[in-house]
Amino acid sequence: MTDRTETPSATRPPAPRDPLVLAIDLGTGGPKVALVGVRGAIVGHAKVPVGLVLVDGGGAEQDPAEWWSAVVAAARQVLGAHPERVDDVVAVGVTSQWFGTVAVDDAGDHLGPAVIWMDGRGARYVRRAVRGPVRIAGYDVRRLRAWLRRTGGIPSLTGKDPVGHIQFLRHERPDVYRDAATFLEPVDYLGLRLTGRAAASGASITGHWVTDNRDLARITYDDELVAWTGIDRHKLPELVTTNSVLGPLAPTAADALGLRSGVPVVAGSSDTASAGIGSGAVDDRQAHLYVGTSSWLSCHLPDKHTDLRTNVTALPSGMPHRYWMATEQESAGICLTWLADQVLFPSDELAGAEPPDDLFDRLNQVAAGVAPGARGVVFTPWLNGERTPVDDATIRGGFHHLSLTTRRADLVRAVFEGVAHNSRWMLAAAERFVGSPFESLRFVGGGAQSELWGQIMADVLDRPVHQVAEPVLANARGAAFAAAVATGHLRWDEIPALVPVTAIHHPDPSTRAVHDRTHAAFLDIYRRTKGIHRRLGRHPQEHP
């Protein structure tokens, strides 16, 4: 591959005695906890993995108690490594996976597993709730218009949002629904554990589709929308202002984490919102691309609208009085995990090999040895359905155009490129939504640790890709920036200059023809196979 990477000439030095934020980023794979200076310098960080339970029928659950234990363990690790900086912590910032549901009782204790963003078991109940005599795309026409105008979105027919989750609990775990005092997003559950206050911000509650978001200075519950979702109004959390101080760190939480009590805890936001802040792309229409377990491409916007055709909308952001473009692709980095666990190093009776500790580095090396185009192999990364630019819960992924000469290295390269082609599909919808091409993309998330993936993204998307420093901590950095602003230590307009870029990947024109050809095939595979996958998805033995 032609080297099209530019290394910026300078990055800012850290300020060693800046006030610090303890930033908590609860991802699907587990929490990352970081000590971050209020001007963005990472002092230290730790990650503790948590389990994921996939249930037949489209279920995906995690244990909130395990979340909290992992947060405590990670915080203890990072604070224990820097005991001289503990008293410099001036705030706690929180971000988390979004579109999940934790049912808690009056005492604030969770009533069972969290139902997370991958879970679609409530789909049939949502379809019943939103249908009407005159329908568009499965929705009652009048309700569809009202939802889009007031919230910017609609309950997903896939069931993969809190409306679907709560309906699932109501119908299939009625004791949990009955005993629930409040249903909380994962980020707001962490806020409860930290402060004792069960509340949501205007940004974190958006995915329940029950708030009127037309006036960002006054986001409120809409009683009619609440009634349409079938959620009991008294089971929804108190609303607080986006990026406000939720409360002081409670003594029990402080003791567990190793901090002093009373440190301000700032109301959290989703990982999608915090990544935009942590990438430095806080100006309107300045885009960032995130590749982690899932993937998204987003930017901040001054106004609100929705494109129902491509499942792209504008929602309240983690920055008060601003919207952000909401997109999501279900499976990105997790495709490499799947390849390693299920194809290259399966832990079953047919193979006993353990994946090497440097697996990700090896996958990069192997993929780099294959020419662009993966020798004709196309990978479609729809391992758990798709959301943007199609809301399709039954589509499934696969390798295409395999032959007897296909090598394992070709498969690895095809996965890297398949995720990039999916991002290109999303890019087309995002740029149409914004109304103009993006000049460049900030690249963050675990996938952005790969120089190779950065170049592949630049080549496939035909846009310069700016690889952000410490990209795996972009969410934590964003939560820290937001907390620093909320507590008066930083201004929003200072953030872009505080996020270093370690490399700029420019598109290689020599790869354009092969990637255009592959992308046309990629889109054609979806068009020609979606009906087949829909029929297979109706089979009673279909697994998530």
Q: What is the structure's pLDDT at 356?
A: 85
Q: Between the CA of residue 231 and those of 129, 170, 206, 391, 512, what are the distances in Å?
A: 11, 9, 14, 23, 50
For the sheet with 287-291, list strands across it: 5-6, 501-505, 465-468, 441-444, 287-291, 295-298
Q: What is the structure's pLDDT at 123?
A: 95
Q: What is the structure's pLDDT at 345?
A: 86
Give the count of beta carbons closer than 10 Å to the beta carbon of residue 435.
7
Distance, in Å, from the CA atom of 379 to the CA atom of 279, rounded to the nearest integer, reads: 28
Give the count of beta carbons closer than 10 Å to the beta carbon of residue 542.
14
Distance, in Å, from the CA atom of 8 to the CA atom of 468, rounded to the nearest integer, reads: 11
Distance, in Å, from the CA atom of 378 to the CA atom of 401, rounded to the nearest integer, reads: 7
Tell me the one-letter amino acid at 138. G
Distance, in Å, from the CA atom of 236 to the CA atom of 433, rounded to the nearest integer, reads: 31
CB 515 within 8 A of CB 413: no
Q: What is the structure's pLDDT at 464?
A: 98
| Nearest alpha carbon to residue 98 among 242, 243, 192, 207 | 207
| Nearest alpha carbon to residue 277 among 12, 482, 544 | 482
| Nearest alpha carbon to residue 62 among 105, 24, 129, 110 | 110
Those residues with Cβ within 8 angstroms of residue 159's Cβ, 6 or more apart along the chain or in another chain: 58, 119, 120, 121, 122, 123, 124, 125, 126, 165, 167, 168, 393
Q: Is omega for the bond preceding 464 within 30 degrees of 0, making it cis? A: no
Distance, in Å, from the CA atom of 440 to the CA atom of 458, rounded to the nearest integer, reads: 9
- What's the N-to-C CA distance of the chain in angstroms? 37
Where do we find the tokens 């662009």? 372
Those residues with Cβ within 8 angstroms of residue 189's Cβ, 6 or more apart along the chain or in another chain: 64, 67, 102, 104, 110, 114
**Got the DSSP string for 33-48?**
EEEEETTS-EEEEEE-
Could you tell me the two tokens for 370?
A: 């294959």
Distance, in Å, from the CA atom of 324 to the CA atom of 317, rounded to the nearest integer, reads: 5
DSSP classification of residue 392: B
DSSP classification of residue 22: E
CB 159 within 8 A of CB 128: no
How buried is residue 73: exposed, middle or buried, by Cβ count under 10 Å (0-12/13-18/19+)?
Answer: middle
Q: What is the structure's pLDDT at 532?
A: 96
How buried is residue 509: exposed, middle or buried, by Cβ count under 10 Å (0-12/13-18/19+)?
Answer: exposed
Tell me the one-letter amino acid at 334. I
Our CA dihedral for 300, 144, 95, 66, rounded to 10 degrees, sits at -160
Distance, in Å, from the CA atom of 127 to the CA atom of 123, rounded to the nearest integer, reads: 6
Tell me the one-letter amino acid at 72. V
Query: Which residues of the chain fall short of a pLDDT of 50?
Result: 1, 9-15, 540-544
pTM above 0.85, yes or no: yes
Distance, in Å, from the CA atom of 286 to the CA atom of 279, rounded to the nearest integer, reads: 10
| Nearest alpha carbon to residue 257 among 72, 49, 46, 30 | 72
Distance, in Å, from the CA atom of 246 to the CA atom of 269, rounded to the nearest integer, reads: 12
Q: What is the structure's pLDDT at 308?
A: 86
Distance, in Å, from the CA atom of 249 to the CA atom of 364, rounded to the nearest integer, reads: 42
Distance, in Å, from the CA atom of 215 to the CA atom of 224, rounded to the nearest integer, reads: 17
Beta bridge partners of 288: 298, 442
Burial code (b: 16+ CB inside 10 Å, e: under 16) for 183-212 equals bbbbbbbbbbbbbbbbbbbbbbbbbbbbbb
Q: What is the structure's pLDDT at 134?
A: 82
Those residues with Cβ within 8 angstroms of residue 365's Cβ, 6 or more apart along the chain or in another chain: none
CB 284 within 8 A of CB 218: no
Distance, in Å, from the CA atom of 42 to the CA atom of 18, rounded to the nearest integer, reads: 11
Q: Which helix (H) or strand (E) holds 169?
A: helix 162-172
CB 72 within 8 A of CB 257: yes
